[in-house]
């Protein structure tokens, strides 16, 4: 068999794999959207769920998901920025930093259920926060820190060495070089990483079952005092997210339209994740184009 025929067979093989993956994704998305899109509506998105009767919605679960997302991002970004800047710009190349990077790789490969059990033991029981939004946000921060630290480190290391030397040659300090030259140049990668982590948080369920809980109390959306028990902003209340709600309905839902509610919630969750990923690519491309034209 000559080289041209081998190359042609290899090309056909890899194209076949690509089309197979694409076909599986299209089939999965089509099934979820065909089943769930008819259920989506303003009343379904804004109303509260029902336990025994049909016609319930997913309003509190959507709010809980976004609230948990905001708290997680607020805690994740400063820690990951500090760790990524240290590993990229300050950490010496020795066995200690190699061990740190290896531990980050190990943490990033942990199953979410294991991280959830750690959060249950530490945040829920030891810290005494109970099943709450705060416990869920902390365990999601632990879950996403390894990924975000690697994103920050890789984005900073992708900045050319000439830009670092140019800043130091102007007489500015190393910290000023990092904050005024390196971080702005790495901004497209940082923004993309942040939004991708946000999409990962929005779809997480296993870790939240053990920390944020599987129920939501009656909320008074006219009361925005975070210290009130009925306030939606209270960080110490249980909070069932959209992903957890889907799992709960499929596992123990007894309402007559449980299948329709699960399908509608799944379609909305998938739409949100797709929007997160599309928004990440758009923001990254926009910032990169702006950086290259200035």
Average of per-residue pLDDT across 28-48: 88
**Res. 292: pLDDT tops 80:** no
pLDDT tens per residue, range 267-282: 988 888 888 777 777 8
Contact 63, 53 (CB under 8 A): no
User: 34-38, 79-83, 117-121, 192-196: which has the minimum mean pLDDT?
Assistant: 192-196
- Quick one: CA dihedral 112, 113, 114, 116, positive or negative? positive
Average of per-residue pLDDT across 157-176: 79
Three-point CA angle 102, 104, 110, nearest 5°: 105
How far is C-alpha 250 from the geometric centre of its chain's CA atoms?
A: 23
Residue with structure tokens 């319930």? 56
Contact 182, 168 (CB under 8 A): no
Average of per-residue pLDDT across 173-189: 83
**Res. 291: pLDDT tops 70:** no
pLDDT for residue 293: 66
Average pLDDT score over the chain: 86
Q: Which domains does the chain have, with CATH numbers?
A: 40-293 (1.10.3720.10)
Distance between CA atoms of residues 15 and 56, nearest Å? 45
pLDDT for residue 294: 59
Percent of the chain with pLDDT over 70: 97
pLDDT for residue 129: 92
């Amino acid at each position: 068999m000559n080289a041209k025929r081998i190359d042609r067979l290899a090309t056909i093989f890899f194209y076949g794999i690509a089309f197979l993956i694409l076909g599986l994704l299209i089939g999965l998305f089509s099934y979820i959207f065909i089943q769930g899109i008819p259920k989506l509506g303003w009343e379904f998105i804004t109303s509260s769920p029902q336990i025994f009767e049909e016609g319930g919605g997913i309003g509190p679960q959507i709010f809980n998901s976004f609230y948990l997302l905001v708290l997680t991002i607020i805690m994740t970004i400063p820690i990951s920025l500090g760790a990524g800047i240290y590993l990229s710009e300050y950490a010496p190349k020795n066995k200690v930093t190699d061990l740190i990077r290896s531990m980050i790789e190990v943490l990033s490969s942990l199953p979410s259920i294991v991280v959830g059990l750690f959060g249950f033991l530490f945040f829920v029981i030891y810290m005494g926060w109970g099943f709450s939004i705060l416990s869920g946000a902390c365990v999601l921060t632990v879950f996403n820190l390894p990924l975000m630290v690697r994103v920050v480190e890789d984005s900073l290391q992708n900045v050319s060495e000439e830009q670092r030397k140019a800043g130091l040659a102007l007489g500015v300090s190393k910290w000023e070089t990092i904050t005024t030259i390196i971080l702005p140049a790495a901004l497209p990668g940082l923004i993309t990483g942040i939004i991708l982590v946000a999409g990962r948080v929005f779809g997480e369920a296993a870790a939240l079952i053990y920390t944020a809980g599987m129920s939501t109390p009656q909320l008074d959306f006219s009361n925005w005092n975070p210290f009130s028990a009925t306030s939606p902003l209270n960080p110490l209340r249980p909070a069932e997210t959209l992903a957890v709600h889907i799992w709960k309905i499929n596992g123990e839902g007894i309402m007559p339209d449980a299948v329709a509610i699960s399908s509608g919630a799944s379609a909305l969750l998938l739409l949100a994740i797709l929007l997160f990923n599309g928004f990440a690519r758009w923001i990254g491309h926009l910032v990169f184009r702006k950086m290259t034209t200035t």
